[in-house]
Amino acid sequence: MKSRPAAVEITSIFQARFPGEPRAFRAPGRVNIIGEHTDNYDGYVFPIAVSMATTAAAAPRRDRTIRVWSENMQELATLPLDRLERREHWSDYVAGVAAMLEAEGIRLPGADVCIVSDVPIGGGLSSSAALEVSTAMAFLSLADHSLDGVALAKLGRRAENEFVGMNCGIMDQFVAVHAERGKGLLLDCRTLDYELVPLPAEEAAIVVCNTMVKHELGASEYNARRADTLAGTDLLKAIYPEVRALRDVSYEMFEAAASQLPEPIRQRCRHVITENQRVLNGITALKEGRLEVFGDLMNASHESLRSDYEVSCEELDIMVEAARGLPGVLGARMTGGGFGGCTVNLVRPGQVPVFQEEIARRYHKATGLKPDVHITEPMDGAREIT
């Protein structure tokens, strides 16, 4: 029922700019509950889709031009399908998706496209994957083609890796496609096997706190961490020939080889190896209803991201610290790529109103910034809205 006003709204925004009857596709942002900076190393992640989402509405054109209007940016971009190139612009994600679809042999018609999003940009909730997945679905519908969920997620990632130049893993696009209401998605980033694990809302609320600091350093630092981690993987492969990715290295193996890894490579690898274990332990705890244990693992994840992977920042640390002292807080950590963006907090439902007020007050006192505090439940993945 909820998608009806959204469809009417996006259609009227579309028709204020373009002729024709569009079809509209909505893809959610995500918040990762645990398993951060593991997806590039064949590891485990446990994200959910959030209620914030990006909608792409599109209708075909007769030429080979994509005209895309961003309601958020209040800007029109014109992308010629026969000369798509990166321009360091928001429309690169759209162009990248079109380029990758064509590279897959799916010939696209020109299109008028309208994008509306309430996923904060640069807020660590993966506005980029939401944009990639929603536009990919819109383009596919115009080309009268379909891709299965895994292929769709892979295509979005490829657009980001090969066109935008951000060497992200598969987590964001995968959860944007496959998420289910009320559940977290445990993904094995090697096999792409996944399990939907219930996150009982009556026992813990998921509260997302936006530091309001944008991760502008994000892409370059992200790629740099990845390069360090892959260099460490190569050193470990030389010691343990059976290793294909860090996911194959146990903590015992790591410890035995640690003296042969220079810093900061050692720290980077330690984060990934311990984080994978935290995900698996966390899922066991969750299934046994031991939410305190799960929360402790979230806390440990933040510590590891802060000191070993070094992707936190002052504001994220302040937000996490502020949460930890509050009643009913099971766990708090930064979420997403880092260097700004959001924290994710697991809070006993009865304490949520106090948490909301107090965290905003504490964070504002320490930084002068007013955070957005958002209570979310796990939501469904991408679909057409009618």
Contact residue for ligand GLA among 13, 39, 42, 175 (CB under 6 A): 39
Using the contact rule CB under 6 A, the part of the chain among 164-172, 245-253, 256-264, 294-302 near ligand GLA is: 164-172
Crossing angle (nearest 10°) for helices 171-178 and 127-142: 60
Nearer to ligand GLA, 26 or 225 (CB): 225
Q: Is 275 in the site for ligand GLA (CB under 6 A)?
A: no
Q: Is 171 in the site for ligand GLA (CB under 6 A)?
A: yes
Question: For residue 217, what are its two tokens?
Answer: 């350093």
Is the backbone of residue 24 left (phi > 0), alpha (psi -120 to 50) or beta? beta
Write down the catalytic residue from 42, 92, 112, 172. Answer: 172
With CB under 6 A as the rule, give the number of residues binding ligand GLA: 12
Distance CA 373, CA 360 (A): 7
Residue showing tokens 């979420």: 335
CB of 219 to ligand GLA, least distance (A): 10
Q: Is 169 in the site for ligand GLA (CB under 6 A)?
A: yes
Find out whether 156 and 173 touch, Cβ atoms under 8 Å. yes
Q: Is 359 in the site for ligand GLA (CB under 6 A)?
A: no
Would you give the end-to-end CA distance of the chain in angstroms? 10
Please indicate whether residue 248 is annotated as part of the active site. no
Residue showing tokens 């990762």: 32
Q: Which amino acid is at 272?
A: V
Binding mask 279-318 for ligand GLA (x = CB under 6 A): ----------------------------------------
Q: Which amino acid is at 256?
A: A
Report CA-CA distances (Å) from 79 to 64, 84, 188: 9, 6, 36
Nearer to ligand GLA, 92 or 172 (CB): 172
Contact residue for ligand GLA among 95, 168, 272, 279 (CB under 6 A): 168
Which residues are annotated as catalytic? 172
Binding residues (CB under 6 A) for ligand GLA: these are 32, 36-37, 39-40, 126, 168-169, 171-172, 336-337
